[in-house]
Amino acid sequence: MEWFTEMKAGQKILCIINAILIIVQIILIICGVGRVDFYGFGITVGIFTIIFIIFAKGGFQFGIEINTENAGDDVEPSELKYMDWYMKWGFSTLMVIGLIICGLTL
């Protein structure tokens, strides 16, 4: 669980929110409430969002190592990069919430 303790607070919150949304959708599928196809897509988007959140910093460092010759292990993403990531992850989380709402109403 060292990877979880190294994440920023916003990353932890988005991971937990997405995990809760995935669990809610699984419960809705088991109960047979609403449209299952929306929930399936929502679960897929939620899982990919969690994976992207977990591996964001490692992927950033890997990209830096490919593009530069003398990259050190202490290379950190800038605050602008984190803001870009948060906007993408936040939109994905909102999309999962929208899929749950569509699954319940349509």
pLDDT along the chain (106 residues), means of 10: 81 94 96 93 96 86 68 73 91 96 93
What pLDDT, on the 0 to 100 scale, is given for residue 70?
63
- Give domain status of residue 27, yes or no: yes
What pLDDT, on the 0 to 100 scale, is given for residue 72?
60
What pLDDT, on the 0 to 100 scale, is given for residue 43?
97
- Give domain status of residue 26, yes or no: yes
- Give domain status of residue 72, yes or no: yes
Give the CA angle between residues 73, 16, 32 to the nearest 5°. Answer: 140
- Give domain status of residue 24, yes or no: yes
Question: Total domain count for the chain?
Answer: 1
- Give domain status of residue 4, yes or no: no
- Give domain status of residue 60, yes or no: yes
What pLDDT, on the 0 to 100 scale, is given for residue 105?
93
What pLDDT, on the 0 to 100 scale, is given for residue 61?
73
- Give domain status of residue 91, yes or no: yes
3-state SS of the chain is CHHHHCCCHHHHHHHHHHHHHHHHHHHHHHHCCCCHHHHHHHHHHHHHHHHHHHCHHHHHHHHHHHHCCCCCCCCCCCHHHHHHHHHHHHHHHHHHHHHHHHHHHC
Give the CA angle between residues 51, 57, 60 to the nearest 5°. Answer: 110
Cα–Cα dist 50/45, whole Å: 9
Q: What is the pLDDT of residues 57-84, one digit of tens each?
A: 878 877 766 666 666 666 678 888 889 9
What pLDDT, on the 0 to 100 scale, is given for residue 76?
77
Residue numbers of the domain that contains 38 = 9-105
